[in-house]
């Protein structure tokens, strides 16, 4: 029997599928104003202080088409138009670049909302410059300024993230820099000063720096997954330590919160 070769038509933007771990409406810490947040599944980092280890696996979530994902914004779109916007976080969104890029485009086309990408930028080389056209703001997570310490914390190299920051500078893309302050891990004054110098060198694209105090709220998820939490005995930073870190960034003329 002759076997027929069937050529399938390419998927439309709305038919592309991706894995969304979860969503949150009314988030107030993932970009300007109130945000609708998509937490994408999949991350190649294994950060010691990760509070969402349940997002690491690429297929750990709902498989949605772009059209289905965009439809979830519908009840909130009118409010988000003037109150905030949409953030795509993770996991790591650049693990699913085709889907996330199409999602940003569809959000812009349908609702015209402000968009933010929450990323560590490690995989940025997998997308072209035009991919970022529909992204209004990048929440850039730089976890340490020393390459060896960065590798110890994340399991990955620092340089691709620094290259991504330079790319954003070239594109003139606004950035909120995020830094998690962990006692004994990321709170060294010299390390923070080095990162602050680097952030200042990026020029006007860094609109603000967020120093985020480490917390233990993710410990339960590690336990549920049968994982050993490496920072189980690490306390949150003191208020004085957080203020000191913020002052190091502010001394370089950066807006800090």
Q: Is 115 within the bounds of a domain?
A: yes
How many domains, in total, are found in the chain? 1
Report yes or no: 56 and 43 within 8 Å, Cβ to Cβ: yes
Q: Is 10 within the bounds of a domain?
A: no
Q: Is 24 within the bounds of a domain?
A: yes
> Strand, coil or helix: what is 75?
helix
Ranges 25-39, 132-146, 160-174, 187-201: which has the least confidence: 25-39
In angstroms, the CA 81 to CA 111 distance is: 8
Confidence of residue 2 (pLDDT cuts 50, 70, 90): very low
Confidence of residue 31 (pLDDT cuts 50, 70, 90): very high
Residues in the chain: 257
Q: Is 98 within the bounds of a domain?
A: yes
Please state, as a whole number, how many other Cβ atoms lie within 10 Å of the Cβ of residue 115. 21
Rg (CA), the chain: 19
Mean pLDDT of 101-118: 98
Q: Give 95: exposed, middle or buried? Use CB within 10 Å, 0-12, 13-18, 19+.
A: buried
% of the chain beyond a pLDDT of 70: 95
Q: Is 9 within the bounds of a domain?
A: no
Helix ranges (H only) for 84-158 are 97-111, 147-154
| Tokens 């070769």 sit on residue | 5
Q: Is 3 within the bounds of a domain?
A: no
Confidence of residue 60 (pLDDT cuts 50, 70, 90): confident
Q: Is 170 within the bounds of a domain?
A: yes
The pLDDT, as a whole number, for residue 13 is 55
Q: Is 256 within the bounds of a domain?
A: no
In 109-162, where do the E strands start and end? 114-119, 137-141
Q: Structure pTM? A: 0.92
Q: Give 82: exposed, middle or buried? Use CB within 10 Å, 0-12, 13-18, 19+.
A: exposed
For residue 118, what is the domain's CATH number? 3.20.20.70
Mean pLDDT of 248-253: 98
Residue 96 sits in which domain range? 15-250
The pLDDT, as a whole number, for residue 26 is 84
The pLDDT, as a whole number, for residue 5 is 31
| Tokens 């779109």 sit on residue | 77
In angstroms, the CA 27 to CA 20 distance is: 17
């Amino acid at each position: 029997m002759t076997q027929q070769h069937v050529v399938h038509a390419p998927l439309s933007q709305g038919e592309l599928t991706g894995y969304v771990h979860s969503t949150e409406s009314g988030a107030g810490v993932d970009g300007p104003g109130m945000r609708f947040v998509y937490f994408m599944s999949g991350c190649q980092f294994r950060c010691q202080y990760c509070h969402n280890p349940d997002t690491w696996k690429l297929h750990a979530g709902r498989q949605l088409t772009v059209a289905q994902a965009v439809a979830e914004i519908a009840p909130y779109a009118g409010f988000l138009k003037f109150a905030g916007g949409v953030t795509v976080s993770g996991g790591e969104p650049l693990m699913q670049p085709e889907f996330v890029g199409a999602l940003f485009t569809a959000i812009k086309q349908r609702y015209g909302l402000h968009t933010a990408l929450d990323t560590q930028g490690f995989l940025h080389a997998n997308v072209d410059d035009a991919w970022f056209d529909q992204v209004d703001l990048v929440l850039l997570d730089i976890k340490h300024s020393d390459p060896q310490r960065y590798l110890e914390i994340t399991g990955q190299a620092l340089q691709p993230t620094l290259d991504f920051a330079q790319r954003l500078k070239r594109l003139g893309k606004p950035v909120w820099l995020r830094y998690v302050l962990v006692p004994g891990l990321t709170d060294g004054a010299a390390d923070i000063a080095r990162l602050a110098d680097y952030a200042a060198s990026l020029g006007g694209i860094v609109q603000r720096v967020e120093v985020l105090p480490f917390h233990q709220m993710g410990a339960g998820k590690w336990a549920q997954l049968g994982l050993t939490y490496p920072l189980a005995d690490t306390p949150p930073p003191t208020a004085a330590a957080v203020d000191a870190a913020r002052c190091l960034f502010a001394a370089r003329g950066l807006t800090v919160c």
